[in-house]
């Protein structure tokens, strides 16, 4: 593989992923959790990766951080271009330096992400101590500042609390504080509000959006909830069975989806005020990753599937306007493929 030097006009691109493949080698066979994924994310941009179980969205996030459990998983090929180097090739030490400092990640359940026996202030401060070499008292001071920035009330008192004393929303804010402490270029958030109540979710998402915009931190938001995606994202990649099946800006995705899966998913959502007698559901189940069909993985469920779909896996089609999709027979509009 020839190495490509980052071009000058790409300087706003923070992360570029090329043909990433992460496979799991299990007793039941090879699970191709991520199987050829390409995307990029710019400074200050919010990119959403949407999918259901088995789509590979979480594994993608973990692969970027090189947090894949090494037996049984492995990044088998691809490049993750970040800061002038390929993270797939980076050493453990280099990754430890990057994690928490240049790329941070927050997860769905803040309760299990925080150490239950250490106070919040100490944990948030850990990032400062480890990456910036600050003393304990300075680190605590900065930690309180971060807690304040994430709108935790009485941050100096809260810094002395233990995780179990905090509500879910506050814990998630503490996680955000920790993640953004060293002003990383990229924040990966894996279903950050899924376990939170609706009213708390709204607050936390708002916070993430504001704080990332302010600091021009790129945000990779992994989600399954289309409402969250509509609210937060600039661009969206839809994943199905380990591949990106559609990739475009958020308005186009919702208004003129090209891929039948995206369209089907959007149509099946119960929407407020829609007054439906029945929901237009997608048939079938997501595929078993150890037994993917030949051809397009979505074909068994696709109302538009033809013989070609069942035999040949579709390649990625890229339109001039940046809309990409993987489909032999995409939906109306926007569909004229390039030569």
Which residues in the 211-230 window bind another protein by CB under 8 A?
Answer: 224-230
Q: Where are the alpha helices (DSSP H) in 256-317?
A: 260-268, 307-311
- Does the footprint of another protein cover residue 112 (CB under 8 A)? no
Q: Which of 124, 127, 212, 265 binds another protein (CB under 8 A)?
A: 265
Measured CA distances, 77 to 17, 87, 227, 261, 311 (Å): 11, 12, 33, 26, 25
> Residue 248: which residues within 8 A CB-CB, separation 6 or more?
235, 236, 258, 322, 323, 324, 325
* Binding to another protein in span 76-105, by CB under 8 A: none
**Residue range at the interface with another protein (CB under 8 A); choices 87-95, 174-182, 261-269, 328-336:** 261-269
Kindly tell me which of 48 and 184 has the beta carbon lying closer to another protein: 48
Out of 35, 42, 49, 58, the only residue in the binding site for another protein (CB under 8 A) is 58
Burial class (CB in 10 A: 0-12, 13-18, 19+), 289: buried
Q: How many CB atoms lie within 10 A of CB 89?
A: 10
Token readout for 269 is 């959502």
Choosing from 99, 148, 215, 231, the residue that interacts with another protein (CB under 8 A) is 231
Interface pattern 181-200 for another protein (x via CB under 8 A) = -------------xxxxxxx
Using CB under 8 A as the binding rule, whether residue 157 contacts another protein is answered as no
Number of other CB atoms surrounding residue 333 within 10 Å: 12
**Contact indicator for 303, 327 with CB cutoff of 8 Å:** no
276 touching another protein, by CB under 8 A: yes
Under rule CB under 8 A, residue 288 binds another protein:
yes
**Which one, 35 or 126, has the nearer CB to another protein?**
35
Contact 1, 79 (CB under 8 A): yes
- Smallest distance, Å, CB 152 to another protein? 11
Stretch of residues binding another protein (CB under 8 A), selected from 7-15, 202-210, 312-320, 328-336: 202-210
Indicate whether 281 belongs to the interface with another protein (CB under 8 A). Answer: yes
- Minimum distance, C-beta of residue 121 to another protein, in the bound complex (Å): 19
Residue 214 CB neighbours (<10 A): 11
14/8 Cα distance (integer angstroms): 13
Nearer to another protein, 134 or 292 (CB): 292
| Stretch of 123-131, 181-189, 289-297, 322-330 lying at the interface with another protein (CB under 8 A) | 289-297
- Where does 2-135 have alpha helices with state H? 57-64, 92-98, 110-113, 120-132
Interface with another protein by CB under 8 A: which range of 11-19, 23-31, 96-104, 325-333? Answer: 23-31
Least spacing, CB of residue 249 vs another protein, in Å: 9
CB of 33 to another protein, least distance (A): 5
Query: Kind and range of the H or E element at 275?
Result: none
User: Measured from the CB atom, is 156 or 234 closer to another protein?
Assistant: 234
Angle at 214 between CA 210 and CA 215, to 5 degrees: 120
Q: Which of 15, 33, 159, 189 binds another protein (CB under 8 A)?
A: 33
**Is 63 among the residues that bind another protein (CB under 8 A)?**
no
């Amino acid at each position: 593989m020839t190495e490509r030097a980052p071009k000058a006009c790409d300087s706003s691109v923070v992360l570029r992923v090329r043909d990433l493949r992460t496979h799991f080698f299990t007793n039941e066979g090879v699970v191709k959790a991520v199987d050829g994924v390409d995307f990029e994310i710019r400074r200050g941009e919010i990119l959403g990766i949407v999918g259901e179980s088995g789509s590979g969205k979480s594994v993608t996030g973990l692969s970027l951080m090189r947090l894949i459990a090494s037996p049984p998983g492995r990044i088998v090929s691809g490049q993750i271009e970040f800061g002038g180097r390929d993270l797939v090739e980076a050493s453990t030490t280099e990754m430890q330096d990057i994690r928490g400092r240049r790329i941070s990640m927050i997860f769905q359940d803040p309760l299990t992400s925080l150490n239950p026996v250490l106070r919040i202030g100490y944990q948030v401060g850990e990032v400062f101590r480890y990456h910036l070499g600050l003393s304990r008292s300075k680190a605590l001071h900065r930690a309180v500042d971060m807690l304040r920035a994430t709108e935790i009330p009485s941050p100096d008192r809260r810094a002395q609390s233990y995780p179990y004393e905090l509500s879910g929303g506050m814990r998630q804010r503490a996680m955000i504080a920790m993640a953004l402490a060293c002003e990383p270029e990229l924040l990966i958030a894996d279903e950050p509000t899924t376990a939170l109540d609706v009213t708390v979710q709204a607050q936390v998402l708002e916070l993430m959006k504001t704080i990332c915009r302010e600091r021009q931190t790129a945000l990779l938001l992994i989600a399954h909830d289309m409402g969250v995606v509509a609210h937060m994202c600039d661009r969206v990649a839809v994943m199905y069975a380990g591949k990106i099946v559609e990739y475009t800006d958020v308005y186009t995705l919702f208004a003129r989806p090209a891929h039948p899966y995206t369209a089907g998913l959007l149509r099946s959502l119960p929407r407020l005020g829609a007054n439906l007698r029945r929901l237009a559901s997608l048939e079938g189940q997501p595929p078993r990753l150890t037994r993917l069909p030949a051809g397009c993985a979505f074909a068994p469920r696709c109302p538009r599937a033809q013989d070609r779909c069942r035999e040949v896996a579709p390649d990625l089609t890229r339109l001039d306007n940046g809309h990409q999709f993987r489909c032999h027979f995409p939906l109306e509009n926007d569909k004229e493929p390039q030569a």
